[in-house]
């Protein structure tokens, strides 16, 4: 199908509060980095459900990306090339100068989610190539191009986020760590408490002794051909879905054919061997031809001393299995899997070191010739792909874009299992179905809800404008989960019930990060005795439209009133029944700043009558309910008559 992609904006997102003095760092490149000098940016994409129409996803994505780049600052830098005139070589390093990353906002309203998931001919549709931001860009071009790039394309009923990154700067493990952090920041908000959760970036500190940095490369090896942007390809791309049962069967079969007791074939090795044999069997190659299988191996824990698994950078090595067509086809699945197992196992600190020493003596840059008669297995099913939620739902699918595309390349990703996950559902809707059950906790322990039901429940929840938990037994987690799903929520009632709600300050902290909080116009926390200033202040700090607030029965003080006075300028009514720790000082600040306030319930407080006089002096139309009286300027307390 011919999908029209319209670019709405093209911008640069820079790290938040970048400081030239403290944030600018030079990162030297290792032989394994420079090996990828001519490689194209690996490109991937995630397909998401459609956000709520009122959600400003582009501004949220860009703001949270800026915060994430502050943490993962190398991505916001540029590659620097130094020409060494004395010996005709060139050197490279990464300058973390805060130049920023490319961010494209595009629209393809003629494309639906089903067009991506269920193409007519069964192949990955070619129009997807236009959903990626770095087509044809090579690592070398990081001198002028951003080291990571994003394109957010809004579809008819979904959103596709495409991205590409420079393999000299990071490998898949580091990239997905960055992406997981970005989505978490976008989902939870940018407050200082949440930011402290993320530790400082741990840079790769492993450099081979005896090598002078920056490494010098012959100038001829740094020459790159003109960029070729391919929007269509003769190579057909397919999506193969391997079920858990298939994987278990292949793993069992491979291990059953291996006699060695000291080796165990992994699930990935079993599947890789099966795919390799299937491709070769149907390739038409002659029996004597030499064939290869290349796998990218994470070397962090294989080095001596080992690096931390969170270490940022490009720390992967190529494990290459070599055999002939005849040998492959004359042996079974177990034999092929064992060759992969042995080769991966041989990737040690010594092998890595030997590669580096030899490479420095005679630099060689990765090129297309290395993939002749070869299948390449990239990425990993261990990457956290489907856990990325920016605030409007987790990904529906993952796709690979143009970049280093060769015949026989396999990209492995985890699949979306059909497991029952009722404990992640919006339980208030299930409560409607299970009307005889009076505890959300009981419902949370149920299981067996199908995927379509979960999707329908989420969509229903997103349309809600009012939520009331009166009559239900709730806790912090279940309440927060529901509120986070209700993007359109305007009214939230978390009041005490006969079942005894257990909402605490921690629950309000969780709720405060929900997208709907800024749009709430009515909140009731009546009777929640476990709530104090800490929770109320946090919740109020995220509101901007609040008109009605009931905090009666909570253990608040003037600190909460000061926060309300600063944030809730549209407030019309407030209930503080039995809030015995509020004083005249807090009330005066509240009424003085909330000029739209119409009524205030102070029943059961310890505020003296003199305070009511002062409040009415500030706002004569204000209705005050102390004890059983309703006071305003037309119905003053006896003291007012004597004035």
The two structure tokens encoding residue 19: 């400081």
Token pair for residue 571? 């407030």
Query: Contact, 58 vs 111, CB < 8 A?
Result: no
Check if 121 is active-site: no
Residues with Cβ within 8 Å of 600's Cβ and at least 6 positions away in sequence, in order, are 573, 574, 575, 576, 587, 591, 615, 622, 623, 624, 625
Cα–Cα dist 495/498, whole Å: 10
Whether the CA torsion 268, 271, 275, 280 is positive or negative: it is positive
Report d(CA 372, CA 374) in Å as an integer: 5
Query: Residue 78, SS3?
Result: strand
**Cα(207)–Cα(625) distance, integer angstroms:** 72
| Cβ pair 311, 202 in contact under 8 A | yes
- Any catalytic annotation for residue 558? no
Can the peptide bond before residue 369 be classed as cis, meaning omega within 30 degrees of 0? Answer: no
CA distance 132 to 147: 14
Where in 390-434 does DSSP place strands (E)?
A: 397-400, 409-411
Secondary structure element (H or E) that encloses residue 480, with its range: helix 476-485
Beta-bridge partner residues of 107: 6, 154
Residues 543 and 18: their CA atoms lie apart, in Å, by 28
Q: What angle do CA 502, 504, 509 make, to 5 degrees?
A: 135
**Do the Cβ atoms of 98 and 230 come closer than 8 Å?**
no
Active-site residue, selected from the candidate residues 95, 97, 191, 389: 389
DSSP conformational letter for 237: -
Number of C-beta neighbours around residue 299 at 10 A: 21
Give dist(CA 150, CA 162) in Å, integer.
6
Burial of 344-362, coded b for 16+ CB within 10 Å and e otherwise, reads beebeeeebeebbeebbee
Q: Which of 167, 484, 533, 558 is catalytic?
A: 167
Half-sphere exposure of 495 (CA within 13 A, CB side): 18
- What token pair was written down for 88? 């005709």
C-alpha torsion 269→271→276→281, nearest 10 = 140
Torsion-angle region of residue 465: left (phi > 0), alpha (psi -120 to 50) or beta?
alpha
* Catalytic site positions: 167, 389
């Amino acid at each position: 199908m011919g999908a029209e992609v319209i670019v709405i904006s093209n911008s640069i997102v820079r790290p938040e509060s970048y400081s030239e003095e403290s944030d600018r760092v030079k990162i030297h490149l290792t032989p394994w980095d420079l090996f990828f000098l001519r490689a194209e940016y690996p490109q991937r994409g995630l397909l998401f459900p459609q956000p709520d129409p009122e959600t400003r996803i582009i501004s949220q994505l860009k703001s949270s990306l800026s915060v994430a780049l502050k943490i993962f600052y190398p991505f916001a830098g540029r590659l620097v090339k130094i020409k060494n005139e004395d010996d005709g070589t060139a050197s490279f390093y990464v300058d973390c100068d805060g130049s920023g990353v490319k961010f494209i906002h595009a629209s393809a309203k003629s494309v639906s989610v089903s067009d991506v998931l269920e193409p007519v001919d069964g192949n990955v549709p070619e129009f997807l190539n236009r959903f990626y931001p770095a087509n044809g860009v090579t690592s070398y071009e990081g001198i002028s191009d951003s080291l990571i790039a994003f394109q957010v394309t809004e579809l008819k009923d979904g959103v596709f986020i495409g991205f590409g990154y420079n393999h000299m700067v990071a490998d898949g493990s580091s990239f997905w760590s960055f992406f997981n952090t970005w989505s978490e920041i976008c989902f939870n908000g940018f407050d200082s408490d949440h930011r402290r959760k993320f530790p400082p970036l741990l840079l790769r500190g492993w450099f081979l002794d005896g090598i002078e940095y920056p490494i010098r490369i012959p100038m001829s090896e740094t020459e790159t051909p003109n960029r070729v942007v391919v929007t269509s390809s003769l190579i057909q791309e397919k999506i193969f879905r391997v079920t858990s049962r298939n994987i278990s069967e292949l793993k069992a079969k491979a291990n059953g054919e291996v006699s060695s007791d000291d080796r165990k074939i992994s699930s990935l090795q079993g599947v890789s061997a099966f795919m390799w044999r299937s491709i070769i069997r149907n390739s038409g190659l002659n029996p004597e031809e030499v064939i290869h299988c290349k796998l990218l191996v994470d070397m962090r824990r294989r080095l001596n001393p080992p690096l931390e698994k969170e270490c940022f950078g490009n720390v992967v090595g190529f494990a290459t299995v070599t055999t002939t067509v005849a040998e492959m086809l004359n042996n079974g699945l177990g034999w092929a899997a064992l060759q992969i197992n042995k080769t991966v196992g041989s990737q040690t600190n010594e092998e890595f070191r030997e590669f580096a020493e030899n490479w420095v003596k005679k630099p060689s840059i990765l090129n297309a010739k290395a993939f002749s008669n070869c299948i390449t297995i990239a990425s990993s099913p261990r990457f956290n792909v489907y856990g990325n939620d920016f605030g409007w739902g987790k990904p529906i699918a993952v796709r690979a874009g143009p970049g280093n595309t060769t015949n026989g390349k396999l990209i492995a990703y985890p699949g979306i299992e059909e497991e029952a996950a009722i404990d992640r559902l919006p339980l208030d809707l299930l409560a409607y179905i299970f009307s005889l059950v009076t505890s959300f906790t009981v419902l949370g322990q149920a299981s067996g809800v199908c995927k379509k039901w979960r999707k329908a429940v989420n969509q229903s929840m997103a349309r809600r404008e009012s939520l009331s938990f009166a009559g239900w037994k709730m806790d912090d987690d279940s309440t927060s989960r529901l509120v986070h799903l209700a993007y359109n929520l305007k009214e939230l009632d978390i009041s005490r019930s006969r079942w005894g709600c257990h909402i605490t300050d921690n629950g309000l902290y969780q709720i405060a990060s929900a997208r709907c909080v800024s749009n709430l116009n009515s909140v009731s926390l009546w009777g929640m005795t476990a709530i104090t200033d800490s929770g109320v202040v946090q919740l109020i700090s995220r509101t901007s439209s609040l008109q009605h607030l009931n905090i009666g029965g909570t253990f608040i003080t003037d600190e909460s009133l000061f926060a309300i006075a600063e944030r809730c300028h549209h407030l019309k009514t407030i209930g503080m029944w039995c809030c015995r720790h509020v004083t005249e000082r807090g009330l005066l600040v509240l009424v003085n700043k909330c000029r739209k306030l119409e009524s205030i319930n102070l029943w059961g407080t310890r505020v003296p009558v003199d305070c009511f006089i002062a409040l009415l002096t500030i706002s004569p139309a204000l209705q005050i309910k102390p004890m059983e009286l309703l006071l305003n300027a037309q119905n003053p307390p006896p003291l007012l008559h004597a004035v």
